[in-house]
Amino acid sequence: MADKKLVEAITAMDVDFAQWYTDVVKKAELVGYTSVKGCVVLKPAGYAIWELIQKQLDAQFKATGVENVYLPVFIPESLLQKEKDHVEGFAPEVAWVTHGGLQPLNERICVRPTSETLFCDFYKDDIQSYRDLPKVYNQWCNVVRWEKETRPFLRSREFLWQEGHTAHATQEEASERTRQMLNVYADFCEKVLAIPVIKGQKTDKEKFAGATETFTIEALMHDGKALQSGTSHNFGDGFAKAFGIQYTDKENKLQYVHQTSWGVSTRLIGAIIMVHGDDSGLKLPPKVAPVQVQIIPIRQQAEGVLDAAYDLQKKLADVNITNPIRVKVDDSDKTPGWKFAECEMRGVPLRIEIGPKDLEAGKCVLVRRDTAEKIECALDDVTTKVPELLETIQKDMLEAARAHRDAHTYSAKDYEEFVKVFEEKSGFVKAMWCGDQACEDKIKEELAVTSRCMPFEQEQIADTCVCCGKKAQKMVYWGKAY
């Protein structure tokens, strides 16, 4: 009974995907609430995923020469206004501080929505000579955007992210770094989060305020909606000219620097939920699972059962000293059935059942969260079998997500087909585009569909724009998006 309750409390995905999402976020205890409107609490189970993302992504950043820094949370209004496109993009959605203590401020300051302007203000003094370049800095921090409608992880007034900001001597170098970081993100999504992504360039309409080029990774959620999961921007020398960031080159001439920025956020946790989850709850890829293996003793009062469980835990924790398996024993006084359901809800990749009969037979049962497959395993083999299985689960989850994405990727040659596919299906639609923003505007207005990206891997779906019928320039991934 109790076991069922826990699961019944979740709305089925197919009935109401949005409600399913909210239920999982709550029942898996990822998020909590306070009186602060539009903001959430990241509870231990949610924050631990972010810690694992941070740790692994940060290591990959550092391997490419990134150094971490920390810049102020505040931006004076005059600073935010220095780059015209940028301020237009962000001013409508920032939180303004007008009083410090009991005194009104001379100039109001906003809580950073992103830190391009701060990095520019810092670089303007910190960069003098070609010897000071490149600067490849990153910060892990909170940012604030005053959103009207919010959803945990996907859109909230405050969120956690990393923002890389680099400055280079040449346009080529900046351009290369923009693409390099996009590749780091794409690899990370595939190899760590088990989420396949489309890499491509944003259209001018969708690019970042102040950028010359914006690149994106786009993932497809279980409900067929797209999620922009990471972006990398090339600023050329636009910000450098607005802020006066110049360096003396080897010939002793003053040159402007070329800049980039790139970021991913806690939104990635939303992607994990919506790509992998099912009607039993969360499904975590082993590499970002705070608990990778949960040992559940059956008839734990029986002699030797708990000892065997702890023994197994210790053995597994010791398999790999540089990257220990994260393993727990659930020795609480709940029923095994309740523990199974809870373990599924929280997305633990592998559970181990061990009871008196298993002990007698010198074995235990391994149960995969991704496939529900049950595998008998001799106790002596656990330390080799479990690490293997975790790797298999990681790989299989990526393949399952890729298969789902591919099965929900369509193409359309003309507007009639395009409209029809969005009426009948949900997913990515590949279609040609003339390059004119008017067509994007029309599609957005009529179908609530946006251009997700011009993928690096172009195909020739047709010769003409899916919207206006003029000569096509680019194949675009279109979709409804979060």
The single-letter code of the amino acid at 8 is: E
CB of 89 to a copy of itself, least distance (A): 13
Angle at 453 between CA 268 and CA 161, to 5 degrees: 25
Q: Could you say which residues in the range 312-341 bind a copy of itself, by CB under 8 A?
A: 321-322
- Return the DSSP state at 340: H
Given candidates 10, 40, 295, 390, which one binds a copy of itself under the rule CB under 8 A? 40
Judged by CB, which is closer to a copy of itself: 129, or 437? Answer: 129
Given candidates 23, 158, 213, 370, which one binds a copy of itself under the rule CB under 8 A? 158
- Reading the block at residue 126, the tokens are 């910190």
CB of 145 to a copy of itself, least distance (A): 9
- The span of 18-26, 64-72, 426-434, 445-453 binding a copy of itself (CB under 8 A) equals 64-72
Judged by CB, which is closer to a copy of itself: 32, or 469? Answer: 32
Given candidates 69, 302, 372, 438, which one binds a copy of itself under the rule CB under 8 A? 69
What are phi and psi for residue 329, nearest 5 degrees? -105, 130
Give Cβ neighbours of residue 372 (< 8 Å, ≥ 6 apart).
Answer: none
Judged by CB, which is closer to a copy of itself: 96, or 456? Answer: 96
Q: Are 47 and 115 in contact (CB under 8 A)?
A: no
Q: Could you say which residues in the range 94-113 bind a copy of itself, by CB under 8 A?
A: 94-102, 108-109, 111
Distance from C-alpha of 190 to C-alpha of 394, rounded to nearest angstrom = 10
Give me the half-sphere count of Cα atoms (radius 13 Å) on the Cβ side of residue 47: 6
Given candidates 6, 53, 57, 79, which one binds a copy of itself under the rule CB under 8 A? 79
Distance from C-alpha of 179 to C-alpha of 324, rounded to nearest angstrom = 33
To which residue do tokens 């780091």 refer?
184
Closest residue by Cα to residue 254 from 341, 171, 169: 169
Give the other-Cβ count within 10 Å of 387's Cβ: 18
Task: For residue 125, give Cα distances in angstroms to 39, 256, 436.
Answer: 35, 13, 40
Judged by CB, which is closer to a copy of itself: 68, or 335? Answer: 68
Q: Does residue 122 interact with a copy of itself by CB under 8 A?
A: yes
Angle at 463 between CA 459 and CA 466, to 5 degrees: 90
Judged by CB, which is closer to a copy of itself: 98, or 301? Answer: 98
Q: Are 215 and 199 in contact (CB under 8 A)?
A: yes
**The total number of residues written for the chain in this structure:** 482
Given candidates 144, 245, 465, 466, which one binds a copy of itself under the rule CB under 8 A? 144
CB of 255 to a copy of itself, least distance (A): 21
Q: Does residue 6 interact with a copy of itself by CB under 8 A?
A: no
CB of 476 to a copy of itself, least distance (A): 31
CA 286 to chain centre: 16
Judged by CB, which is closer to a copy of itself: 41, or 403? Answer: 41
**What is residue 110's three-state secondary structure?**
strand
Q: Does residue 15 interact with a copy of itself by CB under 8 A?
A: no
Number of residues that bind a copy of itself (CB under 8 A): 56
Binding positions for a copy of itself, rule: CB under 8 A: 32-36, 39-44, 47-48, 50-51, 67-76, 78-79, 92-102, 108-109, 111, 118, 121-122, 125-126, 137, 141-142, 144, 146, 157-158, 160, 321-322
